[in-house]
Amino acid sequence: AQKITQTQPGMFVQEKEAVTLDCTYDTSDPSYGLFWYKQPSSGEMIFLIYQGSYDQQNATEGRYSLNFQKARKSANLVISASQLGDSAMYFCAMREGANTGNQFYFGTGTSLTVIP
């Protein structure tokens, strides 16, 4: 089974609108971290936001927020007030366990295009 599933290969959003990028995950480990990265066409992976499995509240970082629904194993990224510079590939990732040497599992990504 896929550890991370991103079902939206491509998304379009109007500038200044909000957009939600979907991510579901699969793990039996009670301790895990969920991450979102942005990858512009230049190629660099930029860390956006983190949610720990034991965090009680949804993570927020500026215009980014994470809609964490633990029972549904989903960790959707919400970008508010989209800007043209938000056009990029977005990857959801997970790391399992604490101090266990586990790798990052990446989803296949969602390509977001912001329309003026």
Distance CA 73, CA 13 (A): 25
Q: How many residues bind other proteins (CB under 8 A)?
A: 29
Taking the C-alpha atoms of 15, 64, 38 and 3 in order, what is their torsion angle to the nearest 10 degrees? Answer: -120
Verify binding: residue 62, other proteins, rule CB under 8 A.
no
Output the DSSP codes for 91-113. EEEEEESSSS-PPEEE---EEEE
Verify binding: residue 102, other proteins, rule CB under 8 A.
yes
Among 46, 81, 84, 115, binds other proteins (CB under 8 A): 46
Verify binding: residue 47, other proteins, rule CB under 8 A.
yes
User: Which span sits near other proteins by CB under 8 A: 12-20, 32-40, 64-72, 78-86?
Assistant: 32-40
Burial class (CB in 10 A: 0-12, 13-18, 19+), 112: buried
DSSP three-state, residue 8: coil
Verify binding: residue 7, other proteins, rule CB under 8 A.
no
Among 1, 41, 44, 57, binds other proteins (CB under 8 A): 44
Verify binding: residue 35, other proteins, rule CB under 8 A.
yes
